[in-house]
Chain A
Amino acid sequence: MRLSKAWLIARRDFKVFRRQKNIWYSIIIFPIIISVLFPTIIEFAGRSGRGLLSAANLPNLLDSFSFFIVIGAAYIPLGIASYSIVGEKIEKSLEPLLATPLTDGEILLGKAIAAMLPTLAAMYAGAAVFMVGIDAVTFGKLGYYYFPNWTFGVLLLVLVPVAVVMSVLYSIIVSSRVNDARSANSYGILIFLPFMAIYFASEIRIISLDITGFLIIAGILSAIDIALYFVSTAAFQREEILTKWK
């Protein structure tokens, strides 16, 4: 496995993405929503004067909001990876690529990098704005800056990458079975289910969104990632692509 070759694939995909407005939208919308919407909600809820946001309630609420960054990290790669592979299927550009001395693994890794890096960049940028925004609107109530903290650090550095990998691998599998990006996105939506389940479980106090909770969730998702890796590498093989992919 030559990383330089995988990086070539990723750079080529970045060039293609630069000309695709729909991919740009899918990358930037979610971070903007998270980084602008949540601080705004807190600001206006705080002004309502109904005592909805007491200093005691705020940390739980902020941790719940933080989890949407993980959901975003799972959402963004769906559009990128689906387009990256389904787009190649539509353009029938995989066959000449497969006829080069690249290995299947290098091509797959390149595609994965092309979906992961913009996602991580967008979500980390969104998370930075989110932290600043939240701190700005909660400092008066809490008397200290809530972010950054260790829980949020574990979320960003452990849970987000694991969620991104899961989404990319899942998208590759889905993309091998469908012929257009819209279908890929429709099936891809299923990736939300486990994350929404975690969120609602936290709301009814089955799971707590603290460092321990995040590490347990990351462990489970990592196990799923490993299973998805084997399925996706089995799907992404030359003969499979040329003879069995739809």
Chain B
Amino acid sequence: MSSRILVTIVIDAENLTKNFGNLTAVEDLTLHVDEGEVFGFLGPNGAGKTTTVRMLCCLISKTSGSAKVGGYEIGNKEDSLKIRKIIGLVPDNVGLSEHLTAYDNLDFYGKIYDCTDAERKENIRRFLDMLGLWDKRNVLAGTLSKGMKQKLAIARALIHDPDVLFMDEPTANLDPESATTVREFILELKKEKKTIFLNTHNLDEAQRICDKIAILNTKLVVMGTPDYLEQAVKGRKTVITLEQTSDKILNALSKLSLKNLEHKNHTLSFDVADPESQNWKVVEAIVLAGGHVTTVDVVGSTLEDVYLKLVRESE
């Protein structure tokens, strides 16, 4: 069923902009997402994440710029239909037909995508099984729990085995167990080389499952791997706990020109750009000055720190 994508870059946007009247929702967004990548799209409420997804899914028009999904141009009428064939969308509201059973919801979408009877049966069974919903197949969608509805919406988006999956806050409002199931399912899809564009507020989720992350606040703030983003903001601190501090130790450290060195009780902390190459020198200086090191920790500059810092700077 799946249409093969021959390009490596599956989503490629250049200066993509969307205005609603005088309001600019997305401005000059340039990003690319490679095949098989889980791409995390972060940003505060109203940053333009959903608008971006809607433009890329050809649900709304762009104001300017360009973007290709699977090699097809958004905004081109014929290509728009082709894009919608190779994508699946899990919107922020599940949008199920509540008076239809779980099975009928999926069967209806399978027919829309021209899946054969055999393909529909196979995919419905496969995805409902994977998401633990097969036993609920004959239950009306409206009576399912929130977590089950979310899983059913994911199954619906996958019923035609799309190459690209857009997910808008798929774990929002889910209990931890359901959220974990969804995250694990996303990682399963990644193994199948599906490209996943994940809108999320959940920084921990993004850090755990995304290969690349972009932070949007109307404009693109930053884009890179989770590790790259953490290092991009030089906010990491080394925290060293000693049995006892002394003037001799502090004098020895002052000669190392450590940034923002702080001393409180028996704990020393300082900013560090590259802990692996710098910390051993500090520990050596402490030991030579007669100190006894209890613990050495590198803290700070989590993705959350990066996110908050960059979003505030962009405002």
Contacts and interface: CB of A to CB of B under 8 A. Distances in A.
Interface of A: 5, 8, 12, 15-16, 19-20, 91-103, 238-239, 242-243
B108 interface: yes
A184 to B, nearest CB: 18
Contacts of A16: 97, 99-100
A239 B81 CA distance: 15
14 contacts: A5-B112, A8-B111, A8-B112, A12-B108, A15-B100, A19-B99, A19-B140, A20-B99, A93-B97, A93-B98, A96-B95, A99-B57, A101-B85, A243-B20
Interface in B145-203: 153, 156-157
B93 interface: yes
B113 interface: yes
Contact of A92 (B57, B91, B109): B91
Interface string B260-271: 000000000000
Name the residue in A92, A100, A242 with the highest tally of chain B Cβ atoms < 10 Å from its Cβ: A100
Contact of A96 (B99, B100, B157): B157
Contacts of B87: 99
A86 B50 CA distance: 23
Interface residues of B, number: 32
B93 A92 contact: yes
B96 interface: yes
B232 interface: no
A103 B98 CA distance: 23
Contacts of B96: 91, 93
Contacts of A103: 81
Nearest to A239: B60
B89 interface: yes
Contacts of A12: 97, 100, 104, 108
A239 B104 CA distance: 27
A242 B59 contact: yes
Nearest 8 Cβ contacts at the A-B interface? A92-B93, A99-B89, A93-B95, A101-B84, A92-B95, A16-B99, A239-B60, A95-B91
Nearest to B83: A101
A238 B57 CA distance: 11
A100 B95 contact: no
Contacts of A8: 108, 111-112
B92 to A, nearest CB: 9
Contact of B113 (A91, A101, A242): A101
Contact of A100 (B60, B61, B84, B98): B84
Contacts of A243: 20, 60
A61 B18 CA distance: 61
Contacts of A94: 95
Given A16-B100, A102-B112, 6 more contacts: A8-B112, A99-B87, A100-B112, A100-B113, A101-B113, A103-B81
B100 A238 contact: no
B156 A242 contact: no
Interface string B107-142: 011011100000000000000000000000000100
Contact of A15 (B61, B89, B95, B104): B104
A100 B113 CA distance: 7
Contacts of A95: 59, 89, 91, 93, 95
Contacts of B32: none
Name the residue in B60, B81, B157 with the highest tally of chain A Cβ atoms < 10 Å from its Cβ: B60
B85 to A, nearest CB: 5
B294 to A, nearest CB: 56
Nearest to B153: A96
Nearest to B98: A91
